[in-house]
């Protein structure tokens, strides 16, 4: 598999070069020369395969022989001791992506990336410095994934005062090879600083640099896995039992013995009338709603669809930072300053991964497979309260944007009956400041309880490239 820059198709590199560089020399993002197809046997078995087997079959198509099969299998099993349950909530499906160590979907990309980097850099003497900008969950996942990985140092930039206290502890509470910078600005400023530092020739001569945002293709590709797994199960008419971290207030109408035997979600699917509107009947491709900010997650879903996963189309649900929904509506892409919302990880006005989407799809093609919708904070909060009241389930603010987006498009007759899933991108306990007043306290997974005990170890810098470069130059001393 060869990768080229979104800004120059004439210079191709292999997976290792694209991953370790992070950003292309011309400032573009690396994309695969072609989106590979699942072999027929894999495509027809997605609904029954183990998650790690789907991960192996997906990722191997992008890394070719650069990571041998036996090594890739070990990396995948090490990265994913958890899965992504597809459960029933009310009249639709929820794809729970928060069962990893930082309780956010970023774990899927960051944990594979850390292990892949360690393998690809085997034998290297020169340390690698990874830069990552975060609006909330990415920083914590990358910090956890790379913590104490030999020869790799991580610097996380996050907007000061725009992440939750728990997110800040996940980002800046580990120390050792993880450093954190609280930037006096927005996520877009953090992202701008990272891109500028990665392109700085003087800095690159002094140290090996890479990125761990979804601008890095090695973090993006593993995210296609959970789309294929979920779509496969929905197409097969199957659901998963609740996981340990499933934030269900009560398993309504499910006898205790069925919960103990892991049949809770299947029972709930029946008792909540899933077949009424967005139910799983089998043999139908799913519509998947993706709460979207920097649009790396949706890009990974588009890869899964093109690989052959049974996905009918996507819903790109944003908060009031609606750059891409506006583009889908009128064909004009206009980046803008981000606005703060209660779904803070999606506060992105200039989404980096739109450049990848545009490299693969024209506006006309996007409109056929993506519906755009934006949701206000008021609507988000109302949904959190109503879903808890009606379904006994806690949604975090980002997942609530997705749920609300489905409701709005259904009301506008833009989606019809058929399996509809909402990606739940983070555990609601990470956003207790927002969720608790609306729905009461969500159950706290053990990993988050441990993170709450950490101290914040960060340095405040202005939103200036020189400040970041000065810090990085000092870090090399």
Question: Quick count: other Cβ atoms within 10 Å of Cβ 366?
Answer: 21
Please report the pLDDT score of residue 279 as a whole number: 61
Of the candidate ranges 182-191, 208-217, 374-383, 396-405, the one whose mean pLDDT is the lowest: 208-217
Whats the size of the chain, residue-wise? 477
* Residue 30, beta-bridge partner list: 5
Judged against a pLDDT cut of 70, whether residue 197 lies above it is answered with yes
CB 395 within 8 A of CB 428: yes
In sequence order, what are the residues at sequence separation of 6 or more whose Cβ sits closer than 8 angstroms to the Cβ of residue 446? none
Using alpha carbons only, give the angle 340, 342, 346 rounded to the nearest 5 degrees.
65
Please report the pLDDT score of residue 321 as a whole number: 96
Please report the pLDDT score of residue 126 as a whole number: 83
pLDDT, averaged across the chain: 90
Judged against a pLDDT cut of 60, whether residue 265 lies above it is answered with no
Burial class of 148 by CB neighbour count within 10 A (0 to 12, 13 to 18, 19+) = exposed
Per the model's pLDDT, the better-predicted residue between 338 and 36 turns out to be 36
- Summarize pLDDT for 27-54 with one digit per residue, the tens: 899 999 999 999 999 999 999 999 999 9
Please report the pLDDT score of residue 44 as a whole number: 96
CA dist., res. 45 & res. 118, Å (int): 31
Judged against a pLDDT cut of 60, whether residue 272 lies above it is answered with no
pLDDT category, 305, cuts 50, 70, 90?
very high
Please report the pLDDT score of residue 359 as a whole number: 95
Please report, for residues 10, 130, 290, 335, 382, the alpha-carbon distance to residue 319 in angstroms, rounded to integers and kept in the order given.
Answer: 37, 29, 12, 15, 14
DSSP one-letter string for 96-153: E---STTSBTHHHHHHHHHHHHHHHTTT--S-EEEEEE-SSHHHHHHHHHHTT-TTEE
- Summarize pLDDT for 356-388 with one digit per residue, the tens: 999 999 999 999 999 999 999 999 999 999 999
Question: Quick count: other Cβ atoms within 10 Å of Cβ 452?
Answer: 14
| CATH 3.90.1170.50 matches 83-103+221-446 | no
Please report the pLDDT score of residue 211 as a whole number: 84
pLDDT category, 212, cuts 50, 70, 90?
confident
Please report, for residues 134, 139, 179, the alpha-carbon distance to residue 169 in angstroms, rounded to integers and kept in the order given.
Answer: 13, 10, 12
Please report the pLDDT score of residue 303 as a whole number: 98
- Summarize pLDDT for 81-102 with one digit per residue, the tens: 999 999 999 989 999 999 999 9
CA dist., res. 160 & res. 184, Å (int): 5
Of the candidate ranges 142-146, 317-321, 415-419, the one whose mean pLDDT is the lowest: 415-419
Per the model's pLDDT, the better-predicted residue between 264 and 406 turns out to be 406
Please report the pLDDT score of residue 255 as a whole number: 40
CA dist., res. 105 & res. 306, Å (int): 21
- Summarize pLDDT for 223-262 with one digit per residue, the tens: 999 999 999 999 999 999 999 999 998 644 344 344 333 3
Q: If we measure between CA atoms, which residue out of 430, 431, 432 comes closest to residue 101?
A: 430
Please report the pLDDT score of residue 476 as a whole number: 57
Residue spans of alpha helices (H) in 272-422 = 296-307, 323-330, 354-360, 363-369, 377-391, 397-411
Please report the pLDDT score of residue 213 as a whole number: 74
Please report the pLDDT score of residue 123 as a whole number: 86
């Amino acid at each position: 598999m060869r990768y080229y820059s979104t800004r120059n198709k004439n210079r191709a590199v292999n997976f290792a070069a694209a991953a370790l560089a992070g950003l292309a020399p011309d400032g573009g993002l690396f994309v695969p020369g072609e989106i590979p197809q699942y072999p027929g046997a894999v495509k027809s078995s997605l609904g029954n395969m183990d998650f790690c087997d789907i991960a192996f079959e997906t990722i191997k198509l992008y890394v070719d022989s650069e990571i041998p099969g036996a090594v890739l299998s070990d990396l995948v099993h090490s990265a994913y001791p958890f899965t992504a349950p597809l459960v029933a909530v009310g009249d639709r499906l929820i794809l729970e992506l928060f069962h990893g160590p930082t309780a956010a979907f970023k774990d899927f990309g960051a944990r594979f990336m850390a292990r892949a980097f360690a393998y690809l850099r085997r034998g290297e003497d020169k340390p690698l410095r990874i830069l990552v900008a975060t609006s909330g969950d990415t920083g914590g996942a990358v910090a956890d994934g790379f913590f104490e990985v030999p020869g790799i140092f991580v610097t996380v930039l996050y907007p000061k005062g725009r992440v939750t206290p728990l997110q800040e502890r996940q980002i800046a509470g580990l120390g050792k090879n993880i450093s954190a910078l609280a930037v006096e600005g927005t996520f877009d400023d953090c992202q701008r600083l990272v891109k500028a530092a990665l392109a700085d020739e003087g800095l690159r001569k002094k140290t090996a640099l890479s990125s761990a945002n979804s601008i890095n293709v090695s973090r993006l590709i593993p995210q296609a896995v959970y789309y294929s797994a979920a779509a496969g199960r929905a197409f097969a008419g199957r659901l998963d039992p609740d996981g340990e971290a499933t934030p269900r207030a009560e398993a309504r109408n499910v006898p205790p013995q069925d919960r103990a035997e892991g049949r809770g979600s299947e029972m709930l699917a029946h008792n909540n009338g899933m077949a009424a509107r967005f139910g799983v009947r089998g043999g139908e491709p799913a519509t998947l709603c993706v709460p979207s900010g920097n649009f790396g997650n949706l890009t990974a879903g588009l890869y899964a669809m093109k690989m052959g996963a049974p996905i009918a189309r996507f819903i790109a649900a944003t908060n009031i930072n609606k750059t891409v929904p506006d583009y889908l509506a009128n064909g004009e892409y206009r980046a803008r300053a981000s606005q703060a919302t209660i779904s803070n990880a999606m506060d992105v006005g200039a989404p980096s991964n739109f450049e990848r989407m545009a490299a693969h799809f024209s506006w006309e093609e996007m409109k056929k497979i993506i519906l755009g919708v934006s949701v206000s904070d008021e609507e988000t909060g109302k949904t959190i309260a109503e879903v808890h009241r009606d379904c006994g389930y806690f949604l975090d603010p980002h997942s609530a944007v997705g749920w609300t987006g489905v409701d709005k498009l259904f009301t506008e007759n833009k989606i019809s009956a058929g399996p509809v899933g909402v990606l739940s991108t983070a555990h609601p306990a990470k956003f207790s400041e927002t969720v608790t007043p609306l729905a009461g306290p969500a159950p706290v997974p053990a990993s988050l309880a441990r993170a709450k005990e950490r101290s914040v170890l960060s340095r405040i810098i202005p939103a200036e490239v020189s400040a970041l470069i000065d810090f990085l130059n000092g870090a090399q001393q």
